[in-house]
Structure 1
Amino acid sequence: MKAGKKTKMIYSVGGGKGGVGKTIFSVAFGTLLAREGFSVALVDLDLGAANMHTCLGILKRTPTIADFILRKATSLEEVLIETSQKNMQLISGSEFVAGMANPAHWMKLKIMRHIKSLPADFIIVDLGAGVHFNTLDFFSMSDRGIIITTPEPGAVMNAYSFLKGALFRKLQSVFKKHPEIGPIIETETKRTDGDKSFSLEWLAGQVRKIAPDMLPLIREIELDFNPALIVNQTTEGHKHVLVKNLLTLCSERLGITIEHTGNLPNAPAITHYLLNIPEFLDTLHGKPYHDALQNIADKLVSLAEIMAHESQIKTDFSDEEVEGIISFMDSLADTVFSGTDRNRWKLRMYFKPSDVVDFLVSRGIHHEAFYQ
């Protein structure tokens, strides 16, 4: 794993349950990449309980992502701060700000756009616990999702719930406006009777009957939804049956294949380095964790290079046009969605992406790539 080819990759790290080591993994993974010469941006999107900065020994964490959300900064790049590691920067979370844990839909889209434009080879997004829509959406925006769990019953079942929620959320985002497929997915998301019939294969069977032209989209989702599973706090020589059961559940119940990318050993000494995870990687106690993480990082980066090569799709947008569209969307959010009077509130409630498309069409923008 060496820096050389320019490979931009966004990883979102989730898991459903708190305390399984998502943040420590994110910081340690970023540290290894930075030491190999890659430029790395860490993004703390645990908007309710951010703590990535503490793992790097950063006490004064200004600016933070709150400055961007509250419009004190015009871009996420403006709130990047340096860390102790060369080549690695951080967008820190902030202390509690009312409403920040649940940003409006337009702000969530804006955050997503700005994350994708950060000047880094690898962007690692640390997500909060739980299966809230915002968390699932941020997970889905990445090039590769990473699920962290421990070999404990509660953590494994939470990981399964997270994966199921992320898959359903992705299906909803694609088919929510389809008059026949949308209601099927909506019904399945609300089931509480333990019905085990749903899987991508089952959904494909339903789609084949009512809208066969949509089948390629099901296949595309199946190929695109490929999270990596990393099991933390493992014990050498111990067979983790629960993890095997998780992979089987995903395959048989959901119809998706999850790659078990690797295990990280239980490392009790890490508790003494919670204010400096990079330093832990250099200690004798941290060597087993470091070596296991290195193997995982090598696998993730190798696949990233393959994915980057396969996704080099050219569009007919010039750089100026791309910047123009992004600026338009940002200014629209600032002008249309700011304010608290009744008319602006109604716009926030009823504004739809299709309205933006209509506006762009009226201005003569007809690029097919934009609508995709």
Structure 2
Amino acid sequence: MLIGIPKEIKTGETRVSMTPSLCRRCVKSGAKVLVEKSAGVRAGFADAEYRAAGATLVGSAAKVWKSVDLILKVKEPLASEYDLMQEGQTLFTYLHLAAGPELAKALQRKRILGIAYETVETADGQFPLLKPMSHIAGRLSIQIGAYFLQTQHGGSGVLLGGIPGTMPGHVVVVGAGNSGAHAVQMAAGMGARVTVLDLETRKLEALDMEYRGRVVTLVANPANIEAAVADADLLVGAVLIPAAKAPIVVTRKMVARMRPGSVIVDIAIDQGGCIETVRPTSHEKPVYQELGVIHYAVPNMPALVGRTSTLGLTQATERYVAMLVEKGPERALAESPGLAKGVNTRDGRIVNEAVAHALGYGRAES
């Protein structure tokens, strides 16, 4: 098998889809690996490390994409990469097609076997390739929110942990999944007042047990969300449904009631965002103000910590990459139901139900 590792080109992206360690494993399994020069530099992996691991370094993305069987990426292909895709290739990456109709069309047109990290599933219903980035995004959301709450960035000047004699900042987390739970952990660790809302009482019970009353847990009904959001210094949107478009749970009217200089961080922006006033931003221009509130919605937030993110991601993807290399895509998908659930596009068709619904296709094609 011939594997291609292109350099990520999304603005501010620092991650790479293969470490030298994973490269060495693939080469030992009989694969040939083409790595675009400098692909791993921003994550702390030099070209020499890939060369020592058995990779062939090439000078352009076009050379990486040309004639390879399997492309490994971190982020979804951008429009400038659509023409580089080769008919019938296998692409293994985060796709987030619910928020990317044009990419979906390009994958169909090129008959790409598109396997999305975010929909690979374990037997117990977990999403192992979404999990590490959700952990990082959740933790970063508090760090980022605290930064933009500073007065010199236009924030309200609230210190989340407060000091003796002052009220700590109020962090409201909507969604208690992987990213939301890690946002709660960071916020509580900083000494903030924390409120977390979710529809699943099971998740709220687990957080209540863990924090023993130090975190307020509320059912995410409109009245509770409205009251909590109005009092938030930092609002974290963490409602994410794998493969599906994120539902809007915080309305524009709710945001309008927030205090001036408050901050919103929407972790769900990869899937369209769960806050009505949010639109995607970038690492070059990460925030904007609307209704007096600072909004942060960078889709590739984990790129802020490229090395940690790369290691977390590739440790999770390694077993699946090994399956694809050692058995070939068709056999690997046949033998691994969890990996098969990652397939979003095949032979020019959308085959994932949630993606098909989000894109308005009705039902997925079998």
TM-score, shorter chain, exceeding 0.5: no
Structure (1 or 2) with the greater strand fraction: 2
TM-score (norm 1): 0.31
Structure (1 or 2) with the greater helix fraction: 1
TM-score (norm 2): 0.31
